[in-house]
A and B are shown apart, each in its own frame.
Chain A
Amino acid sequence: MGFWLELIASGLITGGIYALVAIGLNLQYGLMRIMNISHGEFLMLGAYLTWLAHTFAGVNPLAFLPVVALALFGAGLLVYRLCFRRIARTSPAVELIEARSLLVGFGLMYLVQNAAYLVWGADLRGYSFLAEPVEIMGARFTGNRLAAFGFAVAASLFLIAVLRWTLVGKAVRAMMQSPAGAQLVGIDTAVLHPVVFGAGLALAGVAGGLLSMVYEITPAMGEPYTVTALIVITLGGLGSAAGCLAGGLLLGVVEALGMHFTSPSLKMLLSYAVFIAVLLARPKGLFAR
């Protein structure tokens, strides 16, 4: 019993982080058709900010999360203003927005990742925070993993609530359903697009801050998370935050089970296999009606 609980729960814990990373990317893609392939690089920035604050100023990583979110939100506004606004305005077709934003994303990936290498070097960095094990129903977890899971799920739920029950959320959903219709009823793209893009990066930064408590960090840590986020989005369906949460938790559990019964070196192989299978069989997501 304790064994199964531990296995499933460790899958759910990883899955919670996956969901948080994916929701940010999904919002950007669903709303603006921006496939920001450098999403993971901003997660890495969030992780480094948290590591810096904890190691050099002794700040509690959890208390520092709002600062990370704000900093990345600002970075998002800037990146949107410098790169993606022009693409959205000058591209004649949606397909071109997708293709061009993908290429710009690759450019940002090179830029941010290698800048991080220049500044922080290629060494693994890390710190110890809440590392004592906690026992729940015979299963043992470290405190930092539980905290990361709790915060990730709370942030995801908060976002789902914002999308569902606030006026801003309603505007975002309207814009996803029909961009032209939303503009006709007076929803302002010039405000909403940068804000949502910034919110997406803020979520990535928070996820990075949470991950830095659990794992060691390097400038290359972001890329696998981008891929995982793409898989989760395909599982959950484009533009659906709730689908992302479910898809993320599902992928975490599938990976944990698969890794336990085969071998840990198959992890990436499993994720890609799931991704390609879903894309071929149900390109609109597992939960699409």
Chain B
Amino acid sequence: MRLATALAACAIAGLVLAPAPWLVSDFALSLTLSCLMYVGLAVSWAMFSGATNYLSLATAAFFGIGAYVTAWGHGTLPYAVAVPLGGLAAALFAAAIGAAVLHLRGAYFAVITFGLGELVRHAITYGEKTWARTVGRVISDPPATETVYLVVLALALAAVATAAAVRASRFGLALAGVGSDEERARTLGVNTRLVKTGGFALAAFFAGALGAAVAVRWTYIEPASVFNPFIGFQTVLIAMVGGAHTLAGPIASAVVFSVLTELLRLQFPYAYLIVLGALLILLVLYLPGGLASLLERWKWRQRHA
């Protein structure tokens, strides 16, 4: 997709979706909110991991850090400050760990990003218990639902626009170069270390900001819920199912999965997760390029028919 087309699509989507809080029911609004959240998470994840093939499982950690910035700042920081601050905190954390662990590849990188997320979760649990003498924090008097919705909408669209801009830029080419052959990219003069760390931090910014923005929707914040590894897995799953190397794939599959989750998870929690697990296995085995690869194959056939 061309950059101009993508940006225009973002603007139109923004105009169409912005009045939703005043038009649709509460249930539909919360469903849309959850769709937008996963669009933001999956697109920003794919921006880094889809391009570079570094499988990051740290999304839950970034999300949780953002949520905790909101929780700690609640009452003192205005919402408009807490959201970007949550994103910045996550981006700084990502830059710091990225500089340390981005030389590891493959399963090692995936496992250590997962481990770091758990480390942060346990550290916050312990810190809260020892110094603040609480298990979780209560968010009293949250901002209006309309505000939260508009902020999440803005973040999701910003994530899509950023991903489109990155794909069209030299930076995006460098990320893709790291993904296809890191040695060669370095030989061609790409500072791979800087590019990887920058891309990782940029993706983390959106996950952190979304965490900070959505956290106020939960009245009670505790490490087990905001650092829930499920958020990270769901993000990876959505991006991979849609096709992590494309822009439109993760968006489409984020909408499908969020609707499925909201409808099925409460009624059949275990069965839903069993199906999700089976689906993940089948997709990796038979469609490693995601749903987008079906479309690509079809287009290719049309052209060569």
A interface residues (Cβ-Cβ under 8 A, vs B): 29, 33, 35, 83, 86-87, 90, 94-96, 98-104, 106-115, 117-118, 227, 230, 265-266, 268-269, 272-273, 275-276, 279-280, 283
Contacts and interface: CB of A to CB of B under 8 A. Distances in A.
**Lowest 5 CB-CB distances: which A-B pairs, in order?**
A110-B277, A111-B277, A107-B280, A107-B281, A35-B107
- Interface SS of B by simple majority: helix
B274 interface: yes
Contacts of A115: 270, 274
B19 interface: no
Contacts of A273: 119
Nearest to B276: A110
B278 interface: yes
Contacts, number: 109
Nearest to B288: A100
A113 B276 CA distance: 12
Given A114-B270, A114-B273, A98 B106 contact: yes
B295 interface: no
Nearest to B232: A106
Interface of B: 53, 55, 100-101, 104-108, 110-112, 115-116, 118-119, 122-123, 125-126, 129, 233, 236, 240, 269-271, 273-274, 276-281, 284-285, 288
B180 to A, nearest CB: 11
Given A86-B285, A110-B274, A115-B274, A279 B119 contact: no
- Interface SS of A by simple majority: helix
Contacts of A111: 273-274, 277-278, 281
A107 to B, nearest CB: 4
Contacts of A117: 270
B284 A107 contact: yes
A62 B284 CA distance: 38
Contacts of B129: 265
Nearest to A29: B107
Contacts of B278: 107, 111
A114 to B, nearest CB: 4
Contact of A103 (B101, B118, B284): B284
24 contacts: A35-B107, A83-B281, A90-B288, A96-B288, A99-B106, A101-B107, A102-B110, A103-B55, A103-B236, A103-B280, A104-B284, A104-B285, A106-B277, A110-B274, A110-B280, A111-B273, A111-B278, A113-B273, A114-B274, A117-B270, A118-B274, A266-B126, A276-B112, A276-B115
Contacts of A107: 276-281, 284
B122 A268 contact: yes
Contacts of B279: 107
A56 B107 CA distance: 41
Contacts of A275: 115
A99 B274 contact: no
Nearest to A267: B122
A169 to B, nearest CB: 25
A265 B277 contact: no
Contacts of B118: 227, 268, 272
Given A100-B284, A104-B285, A107-B277, A269 B111 contact: no
Contacts of B101: 279-280
A157 B281 CA distance: 34
A283 B107 CA distance: 13
Nearest to B110: A102
Nearest to B279: A107
A272 B277 CA distance: 26
Contacts of A35: 107, 110-111
Given A107-B277, A279-B101, 15 more contacts: A90-B288, A96-B288, A103-B55, A104-B284, A106-B277, A106-B280, A107-B279, A111-B273, A111-B281, A227-B118, A265-B126, A265-B129, A268-B122, A269-B122, A272-B119
Contacts of B236: 103
A103 B240 contact: yes
Contacts of B122: 268-269, 272
Nearest to A224: B118
B108 A279 contact: yes
Nearest to B119: A272
Contact of B107 (A83, A98, A114): A98
A99 B126 contact: no
Which of A33, A102, A117, A273 gathers the greatest number of chain B CB atoms within 10 Å?
A102
Contacts of A29: 107
Nearest to A85: B285
B280 A104 contact: yes
Contacts of A269: 119, 122-123, 126
A219 B106 CA distance: 29
A118 B270 contact: yes
Contact of B277 (A33, A109, A118): A109
Contacts of B110: 35, 99, 102
